[in-house]
């Protein structure tokens, strides 16, 4: 058996499934971090959390074609296998799952999972088929890595809602743990796509986080969500971001905010050819302020 400091790289889903089940059979708690590679400090924080909670950790690296639209960045999505592996070495990662496309989508594959509810608006509306691709691959990955718990970043807030709903609705035997967004010192949320940003756009990208701070202040001051959305949009536009959405919604359903329930501010926009998303929680308040 490889030393725990040196992850074993496995491409076959059945081989990994057998290894994970054997570990669990010996009473070990297994954590799973699904990724598309191009790993950064945000992914490392998920691995650290999984390692703190579990005896063994598996990390998958698979750029999933089915969650990219026809005009999206699948072919140019950053692929950095050597540095990814270096980041996962020397810690508590026991397995790296690096499947080939055929291992995930066998020839003749024709099954997709569709989640409704939280998958409907925002990203779901702008990126048709995206969450179906995410749900399908995550379900497939959960079969290959039958872990006790899976760790996802809150930066992809809507994705976490979709995965949690799928796990609940299909009764999948895995706990979904959502971990805080990791940010650069200037507030920009860590993302593999930040690597695309030209230097000037990288500076302007802080507008994403700033717009969420604007939202939090206006929320605390009791402003209505529609007014807050206008403020967020205005801030983003003033910094040159082409806004796709600026929303203040119920944190769980993504519908209109409800008095006494946690809300969420979410933004998506483009700087040049780079698409960025971000979000932050807004605490429950009594006046819903629709």
Q: Which stretch binds ligand PAF (CB under 6 A): 1-9, 32-40, 98-106, 193-201?
A: 32-40
Q: CB under 8 Å to 143, separation ≥6 — which residues?
A: 13, 17
269 makes contact with ligand PAF (CB under 6 A)? no
Q: Which stretch binds ligand PAF (CB under 6 A): 8-16, 133-141, 166-174, 213-221?
A: 133-141
Task: State the Cα–Cα distance between residues 227 and 230, nearest whole angstrom.
Answer: 5
Which sequence positions are flagged as catalytic? Answer: 43
Under 8 Å between Cβ of 22 and 9: no
CB closer to ligand PAF, 42 vs 289 = 42
User: Which residue, 103, 107, 92, is CA-closest to 44?
Assistant: 92
Q: Which stretch binds ligand PAF (CB under 6 A): 31-39, 51-59, 107-115, 116-124?
A: 31-39
Q: Which stretch binds ligand PAF (CB under 6 A): 6-14, 30-38, 108-116, 180-188?
A: 30-38
248 makes contact with ligand PAF (CB under 6 A)? no
Under 8 Å between Cβ of 254 and 237: no
Q: How does strand 56-61 pair with strand 93-97? A: parallel
Task: State the Cα–Cα distance between residues 213 and 217, nearest whole angstrom.
Answer: 6
CB closer to ligand PAF, 60 vs 223 = 60
134 makes contact with ligand PAF (CB under 6 A)? yes
Binding to ligand PAF, residues 53-82 (CB under 6 A): 64, 67
Which stretches of 54-148 are DSSP H helices?
81-88, 101-104, 123-126, 130-144
Under 8 Å between Cβ of 138 and 66: no
| Helix and strand numbers, DSSP H then E, in the chain | 10, 9
List the one residue from 13, 34, 99, 118 that touches ligand PAF (CB under 6 A).
34
Smallest distance, ligand PAF to C-beta of residue 137, A:
5
113 makes contact with ligand PAF (CB under 6 A)? no
Binding site for ligand PAF (CB under 6 A): 34-36, 64, 67, 134, 137-138, 156, 159
């Amino acid at each position: 058996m490889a030393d725990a400091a040196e992850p074993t790289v496995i491409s076959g889903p059945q081989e990994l499934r057998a290894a994970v089940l054997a570990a669990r059979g010996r009473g070990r708690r297994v954590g799973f971090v699904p990724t598309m590679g191009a790993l950064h400090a945000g992914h490392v924080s998920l691995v650290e959390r999984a390692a703190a909670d579990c005896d063994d950790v598996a990390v998958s690296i698979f750029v999933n074609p089915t969650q990219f639209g026809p005009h999206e960045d699948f072919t140019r999505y950053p692929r950095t296998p050597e540095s990814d592996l270096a980041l996962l070495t020397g810690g508590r990662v026991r397995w790296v799952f690096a499947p080939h496309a055929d291992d995930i989508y066998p020839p003749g594959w024709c099954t997709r999972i569709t989640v409704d509810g939280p998958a409907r608006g925002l990203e779901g509306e702008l990126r048709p088929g995206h969450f179906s691709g995410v749900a399908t691959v995550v379900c497939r990955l959960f079969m290959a890595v039958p872990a006790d718990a899976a760790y996802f970043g809150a930066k992809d807030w809507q994705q976490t809602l979709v995965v949690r709903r799928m796990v609940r609705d299909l009764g999948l035997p895995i706990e979904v743990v959502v971990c805080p967004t990791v940010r650069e010192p200037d507030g920009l949320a860590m993302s593999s796509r930040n690597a695309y940003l030209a230097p000037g756009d990288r500076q302007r990208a802080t507008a994403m986080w700033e717009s969420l701070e604007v939202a939090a202040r206006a929320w605390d001051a009791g402003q209505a969500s529609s007014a807050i959305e206008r403020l967020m949009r205005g801030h983003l536009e003033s910094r040159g971001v082409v806004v796709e959405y600026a929303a203040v919604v119920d944190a769980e359903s993504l519908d209109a905010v409800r008095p006494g329930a946690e809300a969420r501010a979410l933004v998506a926009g483009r700087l040049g050819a780079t698409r960025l998303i971000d979000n932050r929680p807004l605490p429950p308040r009594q006046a819903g302020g629709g």
